[in-house]
Structure 1
């Protein structure tokens, strides 16, 4: 912990800080679930964590829809699978490789929730006048909060984004202007992947952090830290 932070007394204890970083580094986008259930009070904790995410202009654009009916979950799965087939065709030479990947756990997860952007978002202009997509960024923060809380509690989460938003909105009878952005599969897993699944399957690998950090202008490498006392 930084000495100044310790002096101010705002930092967490070393074990608490380590737990936060552990949740970040061991979070996985899960596709393999082991059924079971999530206790209602535990699910409420995850949703509360999501609801305490930051949002631009404090607009809180997230809405959560639980898919509790078996037939509704099956219809949702059919929409996801239809988009999986369309995505495969768009992959070109990687189509067969893509089709071998497991990309969702809608039918096997204990809980399935659809996260949507609320209707009436155009009213919120604070922080969005030139960047209207900040509603999406805010809702993504809510999902990340839920994801990290779930990992800390030993539950897997898979974010499924393969679906036609209009079709899912119609299925769930969303009002005009509301827009689904994620299908979250949540529940117990046999084990967490040692590394991100797509990296484990050699589909892609994590970029080197140094290649993604610039200083002062795009493409300009980060300057070495100034020597102590230097200017």
Structure 2
């Protein structure tokens, strides 16, 4: 059951925007993901500052267009979401400069888009979203997405890819090396980097334990 209080102190904004927050049935980009990113963002915001209302709107709408990881449109997903979010906020009477600020944050949050965030709010959103891709939640999301893409867990004869190219479309565990372990080095804020270091260690410890078990 939806509880706007979970998005304190932006309950009224969440009540208006969560209807648009997700699209499709991707459990790695559902309302639980939005809430986790919101909490990450508010934690960073408390240290780094920035406009909380702009940031909250960007968090709530950053995944308002759903594009599967395997889609050729994946790199355009954040741009499409920014365009949709701009229309939503315009209908709600937001000022043009505020809409532009939210749209920029949404456009630049995506790893696939590879666009540098220029504002503090955009940097915080990117950090908050990437925090959800590492650590224990990141491991869970990796395997969930692998299942959606019909990937295997790992190559039973060469799980560490010592004698083959990494292929994260075929084996979910390969995604740790192709992407997840690279994320911690790219965080934009000091608060985000500190949180990322903790979660990156958890992710690496997880892979060590996983390899030991198999």
Query: Higher helix fraction: Structure 1 or Structure 2?
Result: 2
Query: Higher strand fraction: Structure 1 or Structure 2?
Result: 1
Bigger relative CO (Cα 8 Å, ≥ 6 apart): 1
Q: From the CA coordinates, give the structure whose radius of gyration is larger.
A: 1
